[in-house]
Chain A
Amino acid sequence: MDLLLSILILTLIIAMLRENDSLRLVVYFTGFSLLMSALYFLYHAYDVALAEIAIGSAILPLIFIIAIGKQKTFVVISRVKDDFMNEEENSPGQTLLRGFAHRYGLKTEIHFEGQTRLKGAFRRRNADLMVIKSRRDGKYIFLMKSSSVLHYKMQRIVEGHRNLRFEVVEEDQIYD
C-alpha cells in the first residue's frame, strides 16, 4: 500500500515538474499534499498528517491561486479622459494597451481617476502603468515603475508613436 502511494507521489512530482500552466500546477500540488498526508497516516505520524492536510490542501492553494490571479492582470490608471483615452474599448489608447497586454497573455484592467488626487508611485492599487497628459507640449505620458519587468518592451512600443512619451518612476517617488 505504501509502495503504491509512493509511486503515485513520484508520478505526481514528475507531472508537476513538466507542467507549464501555473493553475494546473496548484491542483497537482493539492493532490500531492493529500497523498503525502495519507502516507504520513500510514506511517503512524498522525500529527504531521493533520497539519499537512490542512495547510497543504486548503491554505497554500488559496494563497497561490490569489497570487497567480493577481499576477495575470495588467492594471492601468488613467487620468486622461478625452479622445485618446476614454471608456470605449476602441479608443486608440485602449487599443494600444490592450494589444500590448494581450501579447504577453495578461488581462487588462483600466481605472479612470480625477486629476486632483496625489499619490505615491502607484502603490495603493498596485498599478502597472499610469497615463497622464503633459501640460507643456500636450503629449500623453506613460509612467511605469522601474521595478516592472515589462517597461523596456513598453518603451520600445511607445517610441514608435509621435504623441506619446515614456517615463520611468522609482518605487517611492510621488508624482503629481
Chain B
Amino acid sequence: MKDSDSIRCIARILYPFMLLFGCYIIIFGDVSPGGGFQGGVILATARLVTLYIPEKADIDVEIFNLAEKLLFLLLLLLGLLSLFTVGGLFTNVLSAELPHEIRRWFLVILNLAIGIKVSSGLTLIFTQFVKEGE
C-alpha cells in the first residue's frame, strides 16, 4: 500500500490543500455552510492521507489526547462565561448591544475550539485503530 509512487505523490500534493480547506470551513463557519464539526472531520481526513506518506506516518497520540481534554474544558468555560456577562447560560458572551462584526468573533472562537477538538479526537481514534490493525 505504501509502496505505490503515484499514490504517495498525489497524497503529498493533496495534503496541504485538504488542510487549507478544513481551516477555511472552520473559520468561515458562521457565514458559509460548514462549521466546527465539519471542518474538524475534514482535517482528520487530511491526517488520513498522510498514512500514505512514509516520512510523516508516526505521530504521538498523547498530544491529541491532551488537546481534546483541554478544549472540552474550554468549551464548558465558554458556555458558563455568559452567565456573568449576559445573564443566561450557553449563549453569546458578548452583549446584544455590540455591533455584529464584534459579536461574530465569539462564534469564530467557538468554531475553532470545536474544530480542533473534533479533529484531534477523530485523529486519535483512527490512529489507534491503524496501529492496532498492523
Residues of A at under 8 Å CB distance from B? 46-47, 50-51, 54-55, 58-59, 62-63, 66-67, 69-70
Who on chain A is nearest to B41 by CB?
A54
Q: Report yes or no: A62 in contact with B48, Cβ–Cβ below 8 A.
A: yes
Q: Report yes or no: B48 in contact with A50, Cβ–Cβ below 8 A.
A: no
B-chain residues with CB within 8 Å of residue A54 when the two chains form the complex: 38, 41-42, 44-45
Q: Report yes or no: A63 in contact with B126, Cβ–Cβ below 8 A.
A: yes
Q: Report yes or no: A51 in contact with B37, Cβ–Cβ below 8 A.
A: yes
Chain A interface mostly: helix
In the A-B complex, the 3 residue pairs with the closest CB atoms: A46-B33, A66-B133, A54-B41
Q: Report yes or no: B33 in contact with A66, Cβ–Cβ below 8 A.
A: no
Q: Report yes or no: A59 in contact with B122, Cβ–Cβ below 8 A.
A: yes
Who on chain A is nearest to B131 by CB?
A66
Distance in angstroms from B133 CB to nearest chain A CB is 4
Cα–Cα, bound, A59→B130 (Å):
11
A-chain residues with CB within 8 Å of residue B48 when the two chains form the complex: 58-59, 62
Distance in angstroms from B120 CB to nearest chain A CB is 14
Is residue B115 within 8 Å, beta carbon to beta carbon, of the partner chain? no
Q: Report yes or no: B25 in contact with A50, Cβ–Cβ below 8 A.
A: yes
Is residue B3 within 8 Å, beta carbon to beta carbon, of the partner chain? no
Distance in angstroms from B46 CB to nearest chain A CB is 10
Given contacts A58-B45, A59-B48, A62-B48, contact A70 B132 (CB under 8 A): yes
B-chain residues with CB within 8 Å of residue A50 when the two chains form the complex: 25, 33-34, 38, 41-42
Cα–Cα, bound, A14→B42 (Å):
30
Selected from B25, B37, B38, B129, the residue in CB contact (under 8 A) with A66 is B129
A-chain residues with CB within 8 Å of residue B42 when the two chains form the complex: 50, 54
Distance in angstroms from B102 CB to nearest chain A CB is 25
Distance in angstroms from B98 CB to nearest chain A CB is 26
Distance in angstroms from A57 CB to nearest chain B CB is 9
Q: Report yes or no: A59 in contact with B44, Cβ–Cβ below 8 A.
A: yes
Cα–Cα, bound, A62→B35 (Å):
24
Selected from B33, B126, B132, the residue in CB contact (under 8 A) with A47 is B33
Q: Report yes or no: A47 in contact with B34, Cβ–Cβ below 8 A.
A: yes
Q: Report yes or no: B41 in contact with A47, Cβ–Cβ below 8 A.
A: no
Q: Report yes or no: A62 in contact with B126, Cβ–Cβ below 8 A.
A: yes
Cα–Cα, bound, A159→B48 (Å):
47
Selected from A47, A59, A67, A70, the residue in CB contact (under 8 A) with B38 is A47
Who on chain A is nearest to B130 by CB?
A66
Cα–Cα, bound, A62→B131 (Å):
12
Who on chain A is nearest to B48 by CB?
A58
Interface residues of B in 81-131 (CB under 8 A from A): 122, 125-126, 129-130
